[in-house]
Structure 1
Amino acid sequence: MRLQLLHSRVSSATFSRLFSTAKARPKANHRSPPLSTIEPISKPKPKKYKLPPFYDPFGPRPPPSDKVISLADRIASLSPDELRQVGPYLREKLRGPKIQELSSDAMVSSPAASGSAAKVEEKKVEKTAFDVKLEKFDASSKIKVIKEVRAFTNLGLKEAKELVEKAPVLLKQGCTKEEANDIIEKIKAVGGMAVME
């Protein structure tokens, strides 16, 4: 209770002192000028650049001649069918590269066209990688065949034995013609029969 009373006395004393000093202050006769007389802070004006109406990366060009303008007007007045003919004809005239158009008719191939295409593919395709297949071997020369298989496959004894016992089996894939012939000769020499595929 005492604290509350003391607090109220201090508060009221402080308040009355502040309030009385505020009344006692003399008023200044200074009046602020009207807003119309205050000058605004001047900001620098942004620079205005004169830009061209469109951007041309190649720089300014001379205007087209009357002949070019009349030609462009005539091309623009053509019908859609005639417009499709202008490009290829100009390319032919100017000796540009020929571009072949793809159509749905070209996608469907006739039997004669597919037959001729197959012949062309047969001529171009030459086999460069061959596979060597062990067909069979004599039971008496099994050990020799296993040793020979180990020589060119880099397999262990157990793996080579399992591979030979699975005959007919592929021994080596993707070798050249000379290498395949060499392997076949070696297997034939030890009593086995291998073929090239």
Structure 2
Amino acid sequence: MASTITKIPTKSLLKHLISSSPKPPVSRFFSTAENRTQKLERIADELLDLTKLERCDYSILFRLKLGLNRYGPSVSGVTSPGASAPGAGSGAAETKAAEKTAFDIKLEKFDAAAKIKIIKEVRSFTDLGLKEAKDLVEKVPVVVKKGVAKEDAEAIIKKLQELGATAVLE
């Protein structure tokens, strides 16, 4: 059984699908369904006539209008009542400080005599090669490790301070 494939232009196919769709059984819906169908058909025809660049711009605009942009949810005027209450700002700052779980370790300065020991220590907790660790240490002040738990970060800072470096938790 050989099948014949006929290439139908997209506009014709869309019109065929819309016109062959079943109509609602109740006669009072015919006029609104036909109006909606004509409107959707017109919109579909206009979308098909757009160039690739115009389609891209349209898709971005459509996502923004729906609040589906990739940068997060759309900002609406609705806020929680607690956030707009006076004095709530200080409580929010305290909870944000308490919520912080990942810290950065910043190497601010070190003794020149202890440079080799500090490079070795930086290599041990960053998994960097010798050259990368040396370059990192020489760029002081620099963040040597990001996103570390507070307990681990304090242990690393203590080791660096014992070697003669000044390191801080950020």
Structure 2 length normalisation: TM-score?
0.49
Structure of larger gyration radius? 1
Structure 1 length normalisation: TM-score?
0.42
